[in-house]
Chain A
Amino acid sequence: METLTPKKETQPAPAATTITGSKAVLEAFLAEGVDTVFGYPGGAIMPIYDALYDYNEKLKHILVRHEQGAIHAAQGFARASGRTGVVFATSGPGATNLVTGLADAMIDSTPVVCITGQVFAHLLGTDAFQETDVINITTPVTKWNYQVTDATEIPHVLAKAFYIAKSGRPGPVLVDITKNAQLQLFEYSGYQKCAHIRSYRPKPIIRKEYVEEAAALINKAEKPFVIFGQGVILGKAEKEFKQFIEKAGIPAAWTIMGMSAIPTDHPLAVGMLGMHGNYGPNVLTNECDVLIAVGMRFDDRVTGRLDKYAKQAKVIHLDIDPSEIDKNVKVDVPVWGDCKETLPLLTRLVEQKVYPQWLQKFKDYQQKEEEKVIHEELNPTTEILTMGEVISSLNELTKGNAVIVTDVGQHQMVACRYAKYNQSRSNITSGGLGTMGYALPAAIGASYGAPDRTIVAIIGDGGFQMTLQELGTIMQFKPNVKLLILNNNFLGMVRQWQQLFHEKRYSFVDIQSPDFVQVAKGFGIPGKSVSKREDLATALQELLNSKGTFLLEVMVGKENNVFPMVPQGRGVAEIVLSKEEI
């Protein structure tokens, strides 16, 4: 019988095969190849932290300043590396602080394993100190969750957790471990990875007839159009995807989550879809005859009004998650399966083709967008800087090699519209949930996930203030993160909507900011603020050349708007290029 009321919280030296539940957790991490954990200790997870003390050399623990920071860091780590992010948090408030990140990871399919401490099993349901019903709170925002009350469960539950988080359509998993289970000594017979769960089918079986039907449709098409999402990146199918579009000669546009799966300057790359995406891909969605969606989920920010979305087209949908088929857009040919496997099958069956006239249409629209929007955004005639020109200058310096982490709002849209990428896993942003405060911790995580790459976090003045406590994490652990604050002294996206749709009634969007450079200085982080065009390039150079983390604040136009825009409730073809057209 396990001890429910232990005398002390440190464990005696374990016998050869007898270990504590806490040690079993850390052994599981090592067996799963985990080397970095983001976390924050607390009462109910102290036994695990005590065990961690002896794993200092094998497991790097990054002490964040808030649990939300821990999970966003784990997300950034996962997105940059393609590995699973791992989080420790204590019970009660520690666990509830993870909820935003779990919801974010759930909607953006990010593999994360969170371990939360929980009160002793005999206290469950007694409103004990720092007890919350974490399992039920997190059920809607986790792919799977489980409460461990007995240490003997730990090895196989963690094996399941890592397997579920990473396989199929990835997602967040939470394992809640009661304190008695962490302390409990049990006979440990090693760790075995999980490769199969009876009731869980990570990949649907590929149906040959659908692959054939899809190929036949594509071969008959005159104006085929590929739209792709993060599925290409999550499936590590960038190569297979490129081969497919190149053989079939089909223009391809990305969702915000699919961005960077192919280089932005690829000859068939026609830009970004969605509310603030490019002109051509939005308009021509409603002109193509076959629409091939790869690893994307037809989010409302991509489709606009559904009853006006691609009604003329035959729709082929490749997705690993069968519940995505027909969820939002009625599909003619569902190609279930992992796109790393289905794309090569399709590539074999499609004819080698080019569509010069069709591709030209995209270029014509691109030209129009260039004239009406892009040129002024990147070469403004105004005295004050625009966000677009900052991104454009950044491109010149990074040459598309940096990982760009963005927060949420206008700067996010501008960064995603104008940033150049030449390798995959270079765009890390909160796409589905739109979590302000995501970028700073995610960038910290990304720097551990991709230590050889330059990590640039582009953040607005609003979002930065939501999680800027994580500057403390940077101060202590010294990751190399380039912080670029685009400050327009407004909650810009909401302001834009208030201007366009609420008669310019600016309701609580005039956010005031502290002196960010001084704040950074307080954390021992060097910084600079610029507002003049002639200082921009040197300042960006200084940001990128700095040895460690550096904060650059760029003051940009207060009331600039992001265009083009598909106004809410309108079809994608009704995209507008300026506020006069709304």
Chain B
Amino acid sequence: MQTKKEYTITVYTENQVGLLNRIAIIFSRRKINIESLNTSPTEVDSVHRFTIVINEFEDVVRKLCRQIEKQVEVLKAYYNTEEEIVWQELALYKVPTDVIATEVKVERLLRQNGAHTVVIRKDYTVFAVAGHREETEALIKVLEPYGLIEFVRSARVAIIKGSSGFHERLKEFEYMEPGEEAIENEFLDKNEEIFTM
């Protein structure tokens, strides 16, 4: 029996108004909740990427990716399990500055959790932590007793371990396709008997 798992979907797209909606409704139409969604530029100028996290069966994820790829402005969609990606989320924590100043323990805890200070004001201090969800979540628990004022976490950004970037793929996409008369079949002109028509 298949179980639902966390999958990270990476979608390479053109940069176009309305595309976010076109992609989002592929999920909402099937009543699938998006856990996290990030849009970002890529190493290639003019190509954008979406990083989407969902909990689903692999079968469903595969079909979703095919539906996403079917959209005119989508270049490519990949899905990966957690083991196949390197990922991070960024979290910000706002705590009262007087607590930090007086409670030595807090400072130690923050250091242990790899937090760094973003801003210090008389009334509050903002810390940032980048890491996996469990790590950023753990720090909430730690800070709660010390008067955590505000918490926010970003969407996931992920890099596929096995990917060699999108430069090469893009060349393939930019390759001008033959006109309507020509048959678009890479095997047709290889002189193999069965494919000479």
Whether A48 sits at the interface, judged by CB under 8 Å, is no
Query: How long is the Cα–Cα vector from A205 to B21 in the complex, in angstroms?
Result: 28
Q: Which of B18, B176, B192 has the most CB of A within 10 A?
A: B18
Contacts of A292-349 to chain B: CB distance below 8 A: 321-323, 325-327, 337, 341, 344-345, 348-349
Query: How long is the Cα–Cα vector from A203 to B14 in the complex, in angstroms?
Result: 19
Q: Which of B13, B22, B74, B192 has the most CB of A within 10 A?
A: B22
Per-position contact with B for A193-228: 1 when CB-CB < 8 Å, else 0? Answer: 001111110010110100000000000000000000
Check B72 against A140 for contact (C-beta < 8 Å).
no
Check A203 against B176 for contact (C-beta < 8 Å).
no
Q: On chain A, which size bracket covers the interface? A: 20 to 34
Check A321 against B73 for contact (C-beta < 8 Å).
no
- The listed residue (B72, B184, B186, B197) touching A199 by CB distance below 8 A is B72
Instruction: Report, nearest first, the 5 A-B pairs whose CB atoms are least far apart.
Output: A323-B66, A208-B187, A199-B75, A206-B185, A144-B72
Closest-by-CB residue of A relative to B176 is: A196
Whether A3 sits at the interface, judged by CB under 8 Å, is no
Closest-by-CB residue of B relative to A344 is: B197
Interface residues of A, Cβ cutoff 8 Å to B? 135-136, 139-140, 143-147, 164, 195-200, 203, 205-206, 208, 321-323, 325-327, 337, 341, 344-345, 348-349
Contacts of B176 in A (CB 8 A): 195-196
Check A199 against B185 for contact (C-beta < 8 Å).
no
Contacts A139-B18, A139-B22, A206-B187 known; A199 to B66 CB distance under 8 Å?
no
Contacts of A322 in B (CB 8 A): 66, 69-70
Check B184 against A205 for contact (C-beta < 8 Å).
yes
Contacts of A208 in B (CB 8 A): 187, 192, 195
Taking the closest CB of chain B, its distance from the CB of A120, in whole angstroms, is: 18
Contacts of B152-193 to chain A: CB distance below 8 A: 170, 173-174, 176-177, 179-180, 183-187, 192
Contacts A198-B75, A199-B14 known; A341 to B70 CB distance under 8 Å?
no
Whether B111 sits at the interface, judged by CB under 8 Å, is no
Closest-by-CB residue of B relative to A199 is: B75
Provide a sorted-by-A list of 7 A–B residue pairs whose CB atoms are within 8 angstroms: A136-B18, A139-B22, A199-B13, A205-B184, A205-B185, A205-B186, A345-B197
Query: How long is the Cα–Cα vector from A143 to B74 in the complex, in angstroms?
Result: 12
Whether B31 sits at the interface, judged by CB under 8 Å, is no
Contacts of B82-140 to chain A: CB distance below 8 A: none
Taking the closest CB of chain B, its distance from the CB of A352, in whole angstroms, is: 15
Contacts of B1-49 to chain A: CB distance below 8 A: 13-14, 17-18, 21-22, 25, 29
Number of interface residues of B (CB under 8 A): 34
Check B187 against A200 for contact (C-beta < 8 Å).
no
Whether B67 sits at the interface, judged by CB under 8 Å, is yes
Whether B63 sits at the interface, judged by CB under 8 Å, is yes
Check B25 against A198 for contact (C-beta < 8 Å).
no
Taking the closest CB of chain A, its distance from the CB of B7, in whole angstroms, is: 17
Check B177 against A327 for contact (C-beta < 8 Å).
no
Check B184 against A203 for contact (C-beta < 8 Å).
yes
Contacts of A349 in B (CB 8 A): 194
Contacts of A198 in B (CB 8 A): 14, 75, 170, 173-174
Contacts A136-B18, A140-B29 known; A327 to B63 CB distance under 8 Å?
yes
Contacts of A326 in B (CB 8 A): 62-63
**Beyond A136-B18, A199-B173, A345-B197, 20 additional pairs, beta carbon < 8 A:** A139-B22, A144-B72, A164-B72, A195-B180, A198-B174, A199-B13, A200-B73, A205-B184, A206-B184, A206-B185, A208-B195, A321-B70, A322-B70, A323-B69, A323-B70, A326-B62, A341-B183, A341-B185, A348-B197, A349-B194
Contacts of A321 in B (CB 8 A): 70
Taking the closest CB of chain A, its distance from the CB of B111, in whole angstroms, is: 46
Contacts of B17 in A (CB 8 A): 147
Contacts of A327 in B (CB 8 A): 63, 66
Check B195 against A345 for contact (C-beta < 8 Å).
yes
Contacts of A145 in B (CB 8 A): 18
Closest-by-CB residue of B relative to A337 is: B185
Taking the closest CB of chain B, its distance from the CB of A178, in whole angstroms, is: 13
Contacts of B63 in A (CB 8 A): 323, 326-327
Check A197 against B194 for contact (C-beta < 8 Å).
no
Check A348 against B75 for contact (C-beta < 8 Å).
no
Per-position contact with A for B52-65: 1 when CB-CB < 8 Å, else 0? Answer: 00000000001100
Check B195 against A139 for contact (C-beta < 8 Å).
no
- The listed residue (A139, A199, A206, A325) touching B74 by CB distance below 8 A is A199
Contacts of A341 in B (CB 8 A): 183-185
Check A197 against B72 for contact (C-beta < 8 Å).
yes
Taking the closest CB of chain A, its distance from the CB of B140, in whole angstroms, is: 36
Check B70 against A140 for contact (C-beta < 8 Å).
no
Contacts of B18 in A (CB 8 A): 135-136, 139, 145-147
Query: How long is the Cα–Cα vector from A345 to B29 in the complex, in angstroms?
Result: 37
Query: How long is the Cα–Cα vector from A323 to B73 in the complex, in angstroms?
Result: 16
Query: How long is the Cα–Cα vector from A196 to B174 in the complex, in angstroms?
Result: 9
Query: How long is the Cα–Cα vector from A293 to B62 in the complex, in angstroms?
Result: 21
Contacts of A325 in B (CB 8 A): 66
Contacts of B22 in A (CB 8 A): 139
Query: How long is the Cα–Cα vector from A86 to B112 in the complex, in angstroms?
Result: 65
Check A196 against B185 for contact (C-beta < 8 Å).
no
Query: How long is the Cα–Cα vector from A195 to B180 in the complex, in angstroms?
Result: 8
Check B185 against A200 for contact (C-beta < 8 Å).
no
Contacts A139-B21, A205-B184, A205-B186 known; A195 to B179 CB distance under 8 Å?
yes
Closest-by-CB residue of A relative to B186 is: A205
Closest-by-CB residue of B relative to A169 is: B70
Check B14 against A195 for contact (C-beta < 8 Å).
no
Query: How long is the Cα–Cα vector from A236 to B177 in the complex, in angstroms?
Result: 21
Taking the closest CB of chain B, its distance from the CB of A148, in whole angstroms, is: 12
